[in-house]
Structure 1
Amino acid sequence: MNNTLNATACSEDLRLSFASTRLEFILMGWIFPAQFCIGVLGSIINLSVLLSKNMRNRANDLLSGIAFADIGYLLCSLPQSLAIHEFFATSVFFRTVYFASKMHLNGLINWFLAMAMWLIFAVTIERLHGIRSPLRSRMYWNRQTMVMLFLVVITATGLLTAYHHFAFDCSTFVRMACDRAKQILIHVCVDVTKAWPHNSSNLTNPHSVFFKNLIRFSSVFSAFIVGVIPITAVACLNIVLLYQLHKRKAQPLIRGESKWRRDVTLLLRQERRITVIVVTIVTSYTLTQGLPAIVYLWQLFNQDTRIETIFFLNNITCLCNSLMITGKASNFFLYCMCSKNFRNEILLMLQKLLPRNIVRKLPRRYLPVVTIESDAEDIRLTSVRRQTASDYR
């Protein structure tokens, strides 16, 4: 009986060695895998649809960049989830690799978060310009402009979050566990800006005052430039965008039979639909990333070192991170709910991937049909819609 209890206690100790709280073990160990699968698969589908020939525009290009950043964030968060489970936590190889890359994975996670946030800001600006000048917004930007914008965002956010790779000094050592029957690797990281708690070993912080101040300044500066300022700006711009959308909705569409009026009316409706999608995605990002940013600032300036406070902040951080991951995983469903063209494009992709004999057996009402409008000078793709019974009468 005692051996069983000792084995259970040992197993529990090893399993929870990577989770700071029980809540983190539940959220990252069991809920995150489902969020990861839904988020990565949904983001891949989003990229495939947004980058398709029929969906290319400036807003969708920026949204595809956000989908790429979400995939990177989820992939970098996966090792943290795996490390919580006993199979990986007791593996010497996994612990060695994870310990060597943990701090850098944290830096990449913050990089992808910053990248997504500033791309959200860019797409909000683009939609605000688009709803005010629909005709000019339809002009697709040249490749150099697009590449330059993405390079600036990627480089700037990478530099702003680079301090995460140097903010801690980490050491790995061996500890005996399970009544000295097993050896496990333990990883300890110490903040380079604070006094090291190794007085018994006569270890002192070797970093210069300039380096410490640089890390302190970088952490505060990055928190505002990457978190507070873009989130606040996006929230304010989103309110303006909602007002412009409501104002445009109240204006009557152009009526008439001429081809020019029909084209302008179609253009205004399309711009409105794109804006609705952007507003929905931006609102989701603002809500799911705003609260984690506030908690991060709280941790950054918190001076209370009591165990109760640290335990409480860890739980709040876990909840906020789970909320943020949920927001990233829900983007695919938001696209599907807000955009009929998005749903039709997915159906077109499935129709191309499935064998013809299976497609022929599907009910026709579930298959998209491409409507082609002929003109004296050219033939243009104007819309994609579902087939109905009237199409075959």
Structure 2
Amino acid sequence: MKQIDDLVRGAVAYDDGLDLLAVAPAAEVDPALFAAVADAVARLARGGWQPAELHRAVVRRGGTDRPLLAHAVVDGIAGLLRRYDRKTVDDRWLDQADELAAKVWWSADARYVTELTARRRLDRISVVDDLVGLLVVLAELPSIEVLVPPPGSAPKRKPSVSRVDERLLDRVRALLAKAESTGYPAEAETYTAKAQELIARHAIDEALLAGREGGADVVPFARRIGVDHPYEGEKASLLSAVAGANRCHTVWSPDLGFTTVFGFDADIDAVDLLYTSLLVQAGRAMAKSEPPGGKAGRARLKAFRQSFLVAYAVRIGERLAHATELAIEEAAAASDLLPVLRSRDEQVRETMARVFPRTVRGRGSRVDSREGWESGREAADRATLN
């Protein structure tokens, strides 16, 4: 429908275009709106976007104040999946769609707007406004690197075989949850250290097993992990430090709000778990040690937080790297681990270079608060892993 396209492209003023849609026959507008959402989701899926990433991008760019945008993009994902035999959709795509509960609940596409209005208990114009807003957000998203084959272009299988033991991951999650919930730094350190110990042992065992078997079915992969504001640069540095200590490499995309982590499945799982937990622990420690805010102290508080997170990331990187070296030295004394790790690192670097042939080294964050820097290092010492 031309009115919708003109409105999304900005060819007409938003309020004027919305008024035109409001007076146009619903029998024409409603099916065209859903079709436009479905087509936009299909375009972005071909352009590399996965369900969880697409949902997060919509929430990040407007879904917090307009929750219907997030619900509608999930419906668009469900509508897209309906077009394909599930056997031609990659498992990871299906898993993410299932995690979002993406299911076709409406009776017919032509009735989607009407049934959505009743389901959300809103008036029709508000729903039309939000759907157009969603189309504007989706139109702004660029194509990104294709890490998972889009629906309809792949058999239902994973290109890499992960040997991650779900029971082990459950134990790690439980330990990290305890570290996050306790108010005692010593307890948090104990729980986190035990989690890192389990992760390190499992990763080394997985590498040795792959080396003995030739590793033909295990290849490096990549996963995009969200980096939220505020202080995205400092949080991306923390993620990079955790990744480096776990034999992974990262590329940060600040304009899109995520970091692409390259590595083997078991190692990326470890990075994801540890980064999430350490971010929670850093936030709690920062809140306890930061100076008072208020109008007069707002600039000081911002400098403190930024410096805190920079120091926290640096210190975490130092401690994790040391812990990894110790684990490797211990395992290498009784095995041929080092050649295996060198080979795997080369594979990871080759994969990253293939996906990102050109990267730019980011600028380091400024440290304007000595108080924040010292507090961040102290918090990292309490939270890090021996």
TM-score > 0.5, shorter chain as reference: no
Structure with greater helix share of residues: 1
The structure whose residues are more often strand, as a share, is 1
TM-score normalised by L of structure 1: 0.22
Query: Higher Cα Rg: structure 1 or 2?
Result: 1
TM-score for both structures, normalised by structure 2:
0.22
